[in-house]
Structure 1
Amino acid sequence: MNATGSGAVVGVDVGGSGLRLQFVYAGRRSPVHTAPGARIVDHGVDVAALTADAARLLAEGGVGPGADGGARLDVAAVCWSQRGLLFLSDPTEVVSAVASGLGATRTAVVSDAVASLVGALGSVRPGAVVAAGTGAVAFGTDFGARDTSVWRLVDGWGHVLGDRGSAAWVGLLGLQAGLRHHDGLPDGSERLLVAGEAVFGPTPRWPRRVMTGSNAPELLASFAPHVVDAALAGEAMAQQICQEAGESLAQSLLSAAAGIASPTLVATGGLLDAQPVRAALESSLADAGATLTPAAGGALEGAVILATTLAETGTIPRHPAYVHLS
C-alpha cells in the first residue's frame, strides 16, 4: 500500500472489554483490528500500553511511524474514543500520548459517549443517544461551541449508584424479587428465585457472588436474560422490571436531549434486543411525543466519522470535558 494523498484516517474505540481500531484510506476501510481493553493502574487508565497496542495494529497494516519496511501510509487524523476519559484519565496526557504514539497530523480524543452518539447518528449533528448494555448512560449535544450550547451526560453512575435500565440493573432487580419470595415478602417471584439458584447457587452465596469483585456488574447483567424470559412467559414481577427499565432509559434519553432543538433520538446496546424493554422504551417516548431513529452504528464508527471530519476540515466541535484536540 503506497502512501499518497493526505494519508489514512484512524478511529480507535477503547472500552473495558477491548480496543478496536479501523483505518480508512482512499475510500476503503480496513478490517476491524482488536487488542486488550483499558487496563487500570494506580494513576488511572494505562494509556501508554493502549497506544503501543494501537501503534502495533497500525504498523501491521502498513500505517504510521512504526510500519516496517517499504512505503507506508502517514496518519492524517486519528480520533481516540475512550471509556472513562472523564473519571480515570487526564485528557491532556491522553492527547499527548496518542499524538506522539500514533504520529497523526491531527489528533482528537473524545469521550466514548460522543463517539457513540456520532456513530449512532451516522454524522456529526444534534441528537441524543441512550446506551443500554451492562451499564446505562445517555448523552446529548447540539455540538455547539457557544455558551448556550448543550452537552449533557445522564447517568452512567455504575451499578451501585445508577445505571437505571441497564442489564445489571435488570439483573439486580430480578435477584431482589427472587429473594423477596424466599423471605415471604410481597412482590416476590418464585420463578426468579429458582432461576437465581440455578445460576448462582443457594441464596446464602448470592451476596458474595454479586457484591464483591470487579466483575459484579457483568454477573448481575448475566441474570438479565432470565428476567426477560420470565417477562415473556407472563411473570408479573419480571414484566414490571422490564417495563421500568424501558421507562428509565426513556427518561435518561429525554433528559440528555433537553434543550436541543429538534434532536434525533437513538438507542443502542444489547439490552434493547429484549422486546419487553424496547417496547417500554418506545412507548414511553411516544407518550412524550418523541420517536426513535434506528441507530446507524456504534462508537468505533463514530470515531472514524470524527477522524474523517478532522482530516477534511481541520477541526471538530470542541468541549472542555468531552472533546480534546492536539
Structure 2
Amino acid sequence: MSAIVGVDVGGSGLRLQWSYAGQTSSVVTAPGARIGSGGVDVAALATDAAKLLARGGVGLGDVEAACWSQRGLVFLSDPVEVLELVASALGARRTVVVSDAVASLVGALGSVRPGAVVSAGTGAVAFGSDFGSGDGSVWRLVDGWGHVLGDRGSGAWVGLEGLRAGLRFHDGLPGGSERLLVEGEYAFRSTSHWPRRVMTGKDAPALLGSFAPRVTEAAAAGDPVAQRICAAAGESLAESLLSAARGIDAPSLVATGGLLAAAPVRDALEAAIKAAGFELSPAVGGALDGALHLATLLGETGTVPRHPAYVHLA
C-alpha cells in the first residue's frame, strides 16, 4: 500500500495530510515558512514534513505521490531546488511542487478546471488558469508580493492599516481612529513598541494579521475608519480576482481565506464582483485540499497540468 501526500506551506504554518490504506488522515501541522536572506528555508520545512509523516506511520518508500504547495515559490525560492529537497525528504515515487496559488485554485474549485481564486489569509494572492498548455493558455498570478510590497486586502494589510489609523489618531491627523489606537495598545502595548514589533520581527506578517480581527470587529461595531479599511480590503481582493480571471472563458470565481469570515470584508468583495457582472461560487476547499487532489491525480495518471513557473514535476 502507498500513501498520497499533500503539503501546504504558508506564512503561519505547514499543514500536511495524507491518504493511506483507504483512510485520510487528520491534518497535522508544523511551524510555517522561515524566511531569511537566502529565501525560504525549505530544507527545514521538508524535514518537518517527513517527521510528521513518520509519526503518522508513513515512512520513506511508502509514498506513491506527493504535492508540495508553497507560498512564495515563485519569488522566494528556487523551484528546482525545492523539488529536489522535497522529493528527497519525503521519498515519494512522484513529486510535484506548485505555487500555493495553484493549489488554492484546485482546492477551491474541487477539480482541475478553468477558474480563478483569490486567497485572503495572512497574505493575499489571486490566481487564474484554464490549465492549458498551448501558447494561448492562461496562468495568471496577481499580487502575493508580501506584506511590504503588496498583499492588498490581506489580514496583514488590514492589520497594518488598522495600526496606521490608530497612529493617525495618536498624532492628531485626519483619518485616525481612537478605537483602533486603544486596540493596538491593548495588543502591542504603548505605541513606542509598535515599530520594533511590526518592522523587525521575522513574524511580522503573522503579527499584523493577528490584529486584523480587531479591525473587522471595530468595523462591525460601527467604527467608520475601520469600515473604510474593510471595504477597501474587499474591493482590493475583487480587483485582484477579476484581473486573475482575465482571458478565461466563463471562469468560475471563488474566494477563500480566513479573513473572509469577516462580514465587512466579504460583503465588500461580493458587491464589487457583482458590480463587475460576475458572481462568486462557493469554495469547495482550500490549498491543502488542492495539494491532496493534485497528489491524487499525479498518483493515478502519472502527471498533472504543467507550467514552467507554477508547476514543477519530478
Judge same fold: TM > 0.5, yes or no: yes
1:33 aligns with 2:21: no
* TM-superposition CA deviations, 1:173-217 (whole Å, max 9, x none): 222222222333222222222322333333333333322222222
- The structure 1 segments of at least 4 consecutive aligned residues displaced by more than 6 Å after TM superposition are none
Identify the residue that residue 23 of structure 1 maps to in structure 2. Answer: 18
Call closer, same or farther: CA 1:195–1:313 in 2, change over 3 Å: same
Please give the alpha-carbon distance, in whole angstroms, between the structure 2 residues aligned to 1:45 and 1:313. Answer: 30
1:82 aligns with 2:77: no
Structure 1 residue 139: Cα displacement: 1.0
Please give the alpha-carbon distance, in whole angstroms, between the structure 2 residues aligned to 1:42 and 1:211. Answer: 16
Identify the residue that residue 220 of structure 2 maps to in structure 1. Answer: 232
Q: Which residue of 281, 285, 305 corresponds with 1:317?
A: 305
Mapping 1:62-141, distance limit 5 Å: 62-65=57-60, 74-141=62-129
| Contact 2:11–2:206, Cα closer than 8 Å, also in 1 | no
Please give the alpha-carbon distance, in whole angstroms, between the structure 2 residues aligned to 1:32 and 1:149. Answer: 34
Identify the residue that residue 246 of structure 1 maps to in structure 2. Answer: 234
Identify the residue that residue 47 of structure 1 maps to in structure 2. Answer: 42
Which amino acid is 2:3 matched to?
A: A
Mapping 1:97-246, distance limit 5 Å: 97-246=85-234
Aligned length: 314
Call closer, same or farther: CA 1:218–1:298 in 2, change over 3 Å: same
Please give the alpha-carbon distance, in whole angstroms, between the structure 1 residues aligned to 2:12 and 2:193. Answer: 27
Please give the alpha-carbon distance, in whole angstroms, between the structure 2 residues aligned to 1:247 and 1:184. Answer: 28
Which amino acid is 1:306 matched to?
A: L
Q: Where does structure 2 lack aligned partners over 5 or more consecutive residues?
A: none
Identify the residue that residue 70 of structure 1 maps to in structure 2. Answer: none
1:56 aligns with 2:51: yes
Q: State the TM-score, normalizing by the size of structure 1.
A: 0.89
| 3-state SS of paired residue (2:306) | coil
Call closer, same or farther: CA 1:224–1:41 in 2, change over 3 Å: closer
Identify the residue that residue 274 of structure 1 maps to in structure 2. Answer: 262
Mapping 1:287-298, distance limit 5 Å: 287-298=275-286
Structure 1 residue 32: Cα displacement: 2.2
| 3-state SS of paired residue (1:222) | helix
* TM-superposition CA deviations, 1:86-120 (whole Å, max 9, x none): 12322112222222332322211111111111111
Call closer, same or farther: CA 1:56–1:184 in 2, change over 3 Å: closer
Call closer, same or farther: CA 1:168–1:289 in 2, change over 3 Å: same
Please give the alpha-carbon distance, in whole angstroms, between the structure 2 residues aligned to 1:208 and 1:297. Answer: 36
Identify the residue that residue 71 of structure 1 maps to in structure 2. Answer: none
| Contact 2:35–2:202, Cα closer than 8 Å, also in 1 | no
Please give the alpha-carbon distance, in whole angstroms, between the structure 2 residues aligned to 1:44 and 1:102. Answer: 21
CA RMSD of aligned residues (A): 2.0
Call closer, same or farther: CA 1:29–1:241 in 2, change over 3 Å: same
Structure 1 residue 41: Cα displacement: 5.3
Which amino acid is 2:27 matched to?
A: V
Please give the alpha-carbon distance, in whole angstroms, between the structure 1 residues aligned to 2:56 and 2:233. Answer: 42
Which amino acid is 1:106 matched to?
A: R
Whose radius of gyration is greater, 1 or 2?
1
Call closer, same or farther: CA 1:56–1:191 in 2, change over 3 Å: closer
| Contact 2:11–2:205, Cα closer than 8 Å, also in 1 | no
* TM-superposition CA deviations, 1:15-53 (whole Å, max 9, x none): 333332222235421222333333445543333333333
Please give the alpha-carbon distance, in whole angstroms, between the structure 2 residues aligned to 1:194 and 1:52. Answer: 42
Call closer, same or farther: CA 1:27–1:233 in 2, change over 3 Å: same
Please give the alpha-carbon distance, in whole angstroms, between the structure 2 residues aligned to 1:54 and 1:200. Answer: 32
Q: State the TM-score, normalizing by the size of structure 2.
A: 0.92
Please give the alpha-carbon distance, in whole angstroms, between the structure 2 residues aligned to 1:309 and 1:275. Answer: 35
| 3-state SS of paired residue (2:50) | helix
Which amino acid is 2:19 matched to?
A: V
| Contact 2:72–2:99, Cα closer than 8 Å, also in 1 | yes
Q: Where does structure 1 lack aligned partners over 5 or more consecutive residues?
A: 67-73
Please give the alpha-carbon distance, in whole angstroms, between the structure 1 residues aligned to 2:143 and 2:157. Answer: 12
